[in-house]
Amino acid sequence: MLGLPDIYSEKELESAIISQLAEFIKEFGNDFTFVARQKRITVDSTDYYIDLLFFHRELRRLVAIDLKLGKFKPEYEGQMLLYLRYLNQNERKAWEESPIGLVLCSEGNTEHIEYLMLDENSPIKVAQYYTQLPDKKVLADKLKRAIAIARELYLE
């Protein structure tokens, strides 16, 4: 869908997503609206940039998306928490719920995420993205694993 080469930068990924924005939003589901690309926030005279900022109409909250190459790193959680607290204090409207964040990584590493306890109650979610569909076997394995996790979470 994105037409990226084998090696690409976070900026190239973001540009590819923006050029295919309608399709990208459809992948997330209904009710997402685009707010900003590279949303600048300033904390203690230091500028930070939220890669993509959306608003979810049904949830009535901002959704900050941070795009990362490679595996999830613990410092990404702190960075996203900074973004979410800034948005909550400076951008959130009185009728909105607290913002949530999504860190999209090009490679998965669930053990780090489990140790950091980024669970269903966390305002931060982490997911792996694909720039092209993986092999059928990989998809089947991931689906089986997702079903097992879902059963474990919801049948307890």
**pLDDT tens track for 82-121:** 999 999 999 999 999 999 998 888 777 667 666 665 666 7
Query: Rounded CA gap, 8 and 10, in Å?
Result: 7
Q: What angle, 0 to 180 degrees and rounded to 10, lies between the N-to-C axes of helices 10-19 and 21-28? A: 90
Position 75 pLDDT exceeds 60: yes
Per-residue pLDDT of 18-38, as tens digits, reads: 776 666 666 666 788 889 989
Position 41 pLDDT exceeds 90: yes
Position 1 pLDDT exceeds 60: no
What average pLDDT is seen over the chain? 80
- How far is the CA of 44 from the CAs of 48, 88, 124, in angstroms? 11, 17, 23
Backbone angles phi, psi at 129, to 5 degrees: -110, 160
Identify the helix (H) or strand (E) that includes residue 114.
Answer: helix 110-115
Torsion sign across C-alpha atoms 111, 114, 115, 118: positive
CA 98 to mean position of chain CA atoms: 16
pTM value > 0.75: no
Strands 46-56 and 61-68: antiparallel
At residue 107, the 3 state secondary structure works out as coil
Please give the angle made by the CA atoms of 48, 91 and 47, to the nearest 5 degrees: 15
